[in-house]
Amino acid sequence: MEGTFNLPRIVIFFNIFLRKFWHLVKLNMLFLLFNLPAVIVMPLVAQFFLPMQNISTVMTGNSIYELMFYFAAGAILVCIPVVTAGPAQAGFTYILRNFSREEHAFLWGDFKEHAIKNAGQSSLICLTDLVVVLIIGIDISFYMRISEKNMLQTAATFFVIIFFIIYVMMHMYIYPMLITFRLSVKQIYKNAFIFSIIRFFPNLGILALCSVLALLPLLLLPAVGILMFLFITMSLIGLITNFYVYPVLKKYMQDKLPDMS
């Protein structure tokens, strides 16, 4: 780590990515196995945000692109991560946080240890997120379906969408805080909300980058996109968010609170 202190962070990131590439591939497949329920659910969750004409048409060959669109939209929520299996996400985040800090991690051993260690809080976060996402999705879908909108309805739609964007941003911080500090779930959400507001535009940039990485391959080259999702997409996006979040947590929290990991 000593030789990297004076390098630009973008150079450090690609150095980590290239050195850890095969570990990231293995971690992606490990995480996919334990996060399979979230992957199966994610296209269904996406339907709450993006109205579908007829769910039966998605199962036909003529609507395969529509199915891929919902899968791609759901992939963003899995990769950030909002829709996820909490314990698996905790173990996954621990490995990626260590990679982003250029520290060693045992893929299976540390994944299993920190999934079990944080199972209670991560499961509560997972259930909370599922409820919140479904409520927000139903609200957005409802407002989008209204053919004649007045000023109040337009404003309501705008504020719900902004709140959802902030809520998604919070998840770049939630799991790194969970596996690093001894905090209550309430404190984790509170701090994540604060970081989402005070760093809104940098967060928005990272969120846009991650969304493009999740969306474009699946929409433009579906076969390639699916292969990437199976082998690298989740690990890559997780590494990006952890690499981005770590200096923020170090500056505002780690230098003030003990690292409990």
Q: CA 130 → CA 9, 108, 196, distances in Å?
A: 34, 27, 19
Joined tokens for residue 63: 């609507």
DSSP letter (8 states) at residue 62: G
- Judged against a pLDDT cut of 50, whether residue 250 lies above it is answered with yes
CA pair distance 177, 171, nearest whole angstrom: 10
Is the peptide bond preceding residue 81 cis, with omega within 30 degrees of 0? yes
Mean pLDDT of the residues in the chain: 87
Residues 142-149, mean pLDDT to the nearest whole number: 67
Closest by CA to 139, choosing from 170, 162, 169, 113, is 162
| Greater pLDDT, 134 or 249 | 249
d(CA 238, CA 232): 10
Mean pLDDT value across residues 105-117 = 94
15-70, pLDDT tens digit by residue? Answer: 999 999 999 999 999 999 999 888 888 777 776 666 554 444 444 444 666 777 77
**Average of pLDDT values for 133-141?**
83
Summarised one tens digit per residue, pLDDT across range 179-221 is: 999 999 999 999 999 999 999 999 999 999 999 999 999 888 8
pLDDT for 53 equals: 47
The pair of structure tokens assigned to 175 is 């799991």
SS3 145: helix
Counting residues of the chain whose pLDDT is more than 70, the rounded percentage is 86
Q: What is the mean pLDDT of residues 72-89?
A: 89
